[in-house]
Amino acid sequence: MAKPIYFYGIHAIDALLKHRPLDGLSLFVQQGRDSDPHVQGIMAEAEANGISIQPTQKDKLTQLCGSPQHQGVVLNARPLGFADEALLDTIAGREQCLLLILDQITDAHNFGACLRTAVAMGVDAVVCPKHHAASLTPTVAKVSVGAAELMPIVSVTNLARTLDHIKNAGVFVFGTALSDAAKPIHAADLTGKTAIIMGSEGEGMRRLTTERCDELVYIPMLGNEHGNLQSLNVSVATGMALYEVNRQRTLAAGQA
């Protein structure tokens, strides 16, 4: 069994206690913060699930979780596990689906921000490679504001093979790239069974990943007197791409 770790942040802990309370072991609450309504709600959840509550000094909380951004609560709990890869068969077999694929996103803050956006934009599952990718750490949970607990995250051994598999199930795979072969994302048809691939900020998508894409797209950017940025932060670009998917689908539904 995986060794328990220390989660921190009000939203991350609240989501954990709501979705997998049996994984919580001990709740540490900053002395003097128990009058905060949000902290009180977390304490009530912990108490209802038999989790011990320990008043703790602020500096001790920082030491436990390794971050001063704990918001007065730290939870010792079992780590979040990745979803079974077989779940992708179920999702890809639906009449409609939306998958977010993160290729070599290694920064925990970017990974967490992408998860937060994915939940907000109705993504069915996030897929990432087993190697060269961020893990489901407490930092990811904190940055995702609890979103890591709300949606399946699938780690796959061979991303290229997984892409072939979902394509065979009728999922159309779009890769984001700054390439002459790419079209503006608003010019692509994103209304069907769709997977959006986001590559790392430095390297972009790997060659084998790019070769599996049905179509390459890019996010148009306007230049000004200061010049034109060549790329966006991956979490920002993810939000813009997923918003375009939802914009097209909402428009298509209104015309149906």
Q: Could you tell me if 58 and 181 lie in one domain? A: no
Q: CA torsion sign, 192 to 193 to 197 to 198?
A: positive
* CATH code at position 166: 3.40.1280.10
Let me know if residue 130 belongs to a domain: yes
Give 124's DSSP letter. Answer: S
**Residue indicated by tokens 């920002």:** 236
Residue 253's pLDDT is what?
Answer: 85
Q: Decide: residue 181, CB within 10 A, 0-12 exposed, 13-18 middle, 19+ buried.
A: exposed
Greatest alpha-carbon span in the chain: 60
Of the chain, the end-to-end C-alpha distance in Å amounts to 50
When mean pLDDT is compared across 96-100, 168-172, 226-230, the lowest value belongs to 226-230
Among 49, 77, 105, the domain boundary falls at 77
Give 104's DSSP letter. Answer: S
- d(CA 199, CA 213) in angstroms, rounded, equals 12
* Rounded (10°) angle between helices 234-255 and 108-120: 10
For the chain, what percent of residues have pLDDT higher than 90? Answer: 82
Q: What is the CA radius of gyration of the chain?
A: 20
Q: Could you tell me if 29 and 107 lie in one domain? A: no
Whether residue 256 is predicted with pLDDT greater than 80 in this model: the reply is no
Model confidence at 201, in pLDDT bands (50, 70, 90)?
Answer: confident
- d(CA 12, CA 23) in angstroms, rounded, equals 13
Whether residue 231 is predicted with pLDDT greater than 70 in this model: the reply is no
Q: Which residue has the higher pLDDT, 229 or 153?
A: 153
Residue 229's pLDDT is what?
Answer: 47
Q: Compute the average pLDDT of residues 77-81.
A: 94
Determine contact, residues 118/100, Cβ cutoff 8 Å. yes
Specify the amino acid at residue 71. Q
Q: Could you tell me if 186 and 110 lie in one domain? A: yes
Residue 221's pLDDT is what?
Answer: 81
Q: Share the mean pLDDT of the chain.
A: 92
Let me know if residue 235 belongs to a domain: yes
Q: Could you tell me if 174 and 222 lie in one domain? A: yes
Q: Could you tell me if 127 and 245 lie in one domain? A: yes
Q: Could you tell me if 49 and 118 lie in one domain? A: no
Whether residue 40 is predicted with pLDDT greater than 50 in this model: the reply is yes
Whether residue 246 is predicted with pLDDT greater than 90 in this model: the reply is yes
Q: Compute the average pLDDT of residues 181-198.
A: 95
Model confidence at 223, in pLDDT bands (50, 70, 90)?
Answer: low
Let me know if residue 96 belongs to a domain: yes
Whether residue 224 is predicted with pLDDT greater than 80 in this model: the reply is no
The total of other beta-carbon atoms located within 10 Å of residue 2's CB is 9
Residue 2's pLDDT is what?
Answer: 65
Question: Quick one: which of 157, 33, 144 has its CA closest to 80?
Answer: 144
Whether residue 178 is predicted with pLDDT greater than 90 in this model: the reply is no
pTM of the model: 0.91
- d(CA 69, CA 9) in angstroms, rounded, equals 7
Residue 227's pLDDT is what?
Answer: 46
State which H helix or E strand residue 160 sits in.
Answer: helix 159-168
110 Cβ contact list (under 8 Å, min separation 6): 134, 201, 233, 234, 235
How confident is the model over 109-132, as pLDDT tens digits? 999 999 999 999 999 999 999 988
Model confidence at 38, in pLDDT bands (50, 70, 90)?
Answer: very high
Among 56, 77, 98, the domain boundary falls at 77
Segments forming the whole domain that contains residue 20: 5-77
Q: Could you tell me if 30 and 138 lie in one domain? A: no
Model confidence at 141, in pLDDT bands (50, 70, 90)?
Answer: very high
Q: Could you tell me if 227 and 147 lie in one domain? A: yes
Q: Looking at the 3D structure of the chain, how many domains does it have?
A: 2
Among 77, 99, 130, the domain boundary falls at 77
Let me know if residue 82 belongs to a domain: no
The residue length of the chain stands at: 256
